[in-house]
Structure 1
Amino acid sequence: MASEDDAVVPTTAPVDATEPSDDVSLEKAHLEAPESSSTDHSEYTSILANPESYDVKHPLNTPWTLWYDTPGQKRANASNWQQSLKKLVTFDTVEDFWGVFNNVLKASELAPGSNYHVFRAGIQPACQDPANGKGGKWTIPAKKKPDTDNIWLNVLLAMVGESLDSPTDICGAVASVRARGDRVAVWTKTANDKDLQEQLGKQLKQVCGLAAEEKIGYLIHYDAGNSKNPQDAYRV
């Protein structure tokens, strides 16, 4: 069930939300857009293409919350960033995920300096949150604006659909729009588990369609906050 606070974010249409039922994941719900072909693709057709399924709700394993922030003209710091952070909506079904995703601006269309955050409900997108305190983040750079949106969507589908290994280690993801280049980061709980993090990093590269020679890095939150020149703990 999706719910909204008073925060305002640019949208293309209102989000509709009702109660959930029938427990399936994003992947099992087959929400890919149906292909236009004479071949029978009924096995893979979206449930939304079936009029009898319009009122069916498919719960996610856990609720997720979309946050938005834009520091404005001032250089971001802990104080003004917290003031600019807005909790927008919490969703807990496949259909409400798409209702939210399809009715807010694309990540690439946000103003430079802005961020979208999608985190498990109850976890704030901040290093100070207890769930994030011993964690870190994988960062995937976007070379072009279309890459930003593709990477963001693919990461969200894998994350919200719980299709990655050790999905409960994932706290959330952030899409950051910057003049020097957009990026998407995936936050995890246990930075000191090298094997787990490197396996997750490899999966994220596959999810985002990165070539084997393209490297992504994992930065520990503690290092980022306590070092003048923090270095990646892992690279894959």
Structure 2
Amino acid sequence: MNNNNHSKIQSENTMNSTMLARLEFPNHQPQQSNDDKLQLKNAWGTYFYKADKQRDWKQNVIYITSISYIEDFWSFYTHTYGLRDLSNGSDYILFKSGCLPMWEDLSSRGGGKWIVTIDPKRRKHDLDGYWLHLMLLLIGDMFGAHLSIYINGAIVSLRVKGDRLALWLKKIDDLNIIKSIGNKFKDLLNIPADIQIIYEYHETKFDDFNNEIRLVI
């Protein structure tokens, strides 16, 4: 192994160790009395994912902490790395408590996700803002009670071909509801009109002509 490759591996290992330590840090902070906190409508679980082909998906997911109060959220947010500091293959995940961030979970089975893809060149300027905004919309129940009941959570993914924000939904039989959530998602995040968002089912569905069914806004 040449020195450059050895240095790269050492750097990656150091980054992973530092990430793990920092993700665990909020759990060791002095506890504030819950009587002094602002409680959220729903409790949420936060996770970090780092792709590693040598391990299966569950082994690559790290549970960070639970969020039941707005103060918990800001503790989580201020003690984790910004997206611009992470490498490709990394995800942050925010899901309602009781919902696991996997399509096989009962809460997501038969459902899908609205996806917006963002040019990686905009990662340093836009992605952190989009992700923070989306998390605040979710924990603040800003989609409205009539739509929020169908939302399980969100994932931000850093990838070479395009970073992604994904809003995960339960199984919904009414396409109008799926479209309403998609429109709200795009409007609340102020996503430019020339950027399309796509709804994909977790389990691929096909029409009568064997074309994959997707919705586009």
- Specify if TM > 0.5: yes
**What TM-score results when the alignment is normalised by the length of structure 2?**
0.78
For 2:132 and 2:211, the matched residues in 1 are separated by: 28
* Aligned equivalent of 1:71, options 13, 34, 51: 51
TM-superposed CA distance for 1:95, in Å, is 1.0
CA contact (8 A) 1:9 1:68 kept: no
State the partner residue of 1:31: none
Matched residue type, 2:58: Q
State the partner residue of 1:213: 194
CA contact (8 A) 1:142 1:151 kept: no
State the partner residue of 1:91: 67
Which structure shows the bigger proportion of residues in helix conformation? 2
For 1:206 and 1:139, the matched residues in 2 are separated by: 14
Matched residue type, 1:68: F
CA contact (8 A) 2:156 2:163 kept: yes
CA contact (8 A) 2:23 2:64 kept: no
TM-superposed CA distance for 1:106, in Å, is 1.2
For 2:172 and 2:20, the matched residues in 1 are separated by: 32
Shift in CA distance, 180/10, structure 1 to aligned 2, threshold 3 Å: farther
For 2:93 and 2:212, the matched residues in 1 are separated by: 23
1:119 aligns with 2:95: yes
State the partner residue of 1:9: 20
Shift in CA distance, 19/65, structure 1 to aligned 2, threshold 3 Å: farther
Written as runs of structure 1 = structure 2, the 5 A alignment for 1:164-175 is 164-165=143-144, 166-175=147-156
Indicate the RMSD between aligned Cα atoms, in angstroms: 2.3
Which structure shows the bigger proportion of residues in strand conformation? 2
TM-superposed CA distance for 1:194, in Å, is 1.0
For 2:22 and 2:188, the matched residues in 1 are separated by: 27
* Aligned equivalent of 1:20, options 34, 55, 71: 34
State the partner residue of 1:24: none
State the partner residue of 1:156: 135
* Aligned equivalent of 1:133, options 87, 98, 109: 109
Shift in CA distance, 69/191, structure 1 to aligned 2, threshold 3 Å: same
**What TM-score results when the alignment is normalised by the length of structure 1?**
0.72
State the partner residue of 1:198: 179
For 1:13 and 1:83, the matched residues in 2 are separated by: 17
CA contact (8 A) 1:218 1:235 kept: yes
Long gaps (5+) in structure 2: 1-18
Worse overlay, 9-18 or 205-214: 9-18
Q: Sequence identity, in percent?
A: 25
For 1:192 and 1:10, the matched residues in 2 are separated by: 42
Question: Aligned with 1:9: secondary structure?
Answer: helix
Matched residue type, 2:132: L
TM-superposed CA distance for 1:12, in Å, is 8.7
Question: Aligned with 2:136: secondary structure?
Answer: helix
